[in-house]
Amino acid sequence: LAARLLHELVADVTQINGSTSLVVLIYRRSLACWTGEAGNPEDAVRQLEQLVALSASQLGHDHPATAGLRQLQTRWEDKTRRT
């Protein structure tokens, strides 16, 4: 239920703010993390890969938000290797 509601929230926020909004990136980051926590780390990595690419194109490769997403992606990649 929570995952579905978060998906719906991301869709609503995206519709209101546009797909490249920083607010949308933050919500999508949360969705990726909770996807991994819910037992699907591979999907979390896939979502974070997309977010890193989007953040790099919108904010720049050296932006702190992009770097943070990259670090988060690395953490989830490590978790997928341990399972």
pLDDT tens column, 32-76: 999 999 999 999 999 999 999 999 999 999 999 999 999 999 999
DSSP assignments along 16-74, one per residue: HH-TT-HHHHHHHHHHHHHHHHTT-HHHHHHHHHHHHHHHHHHH-TTSHHHHHHHHHHH
Rounded to two decimals, the pTM is: 0.88
Which residues neighbour 29 within 8 Å (Cβ) at sequence distance 6 or greater? 48, 51, 69, 72
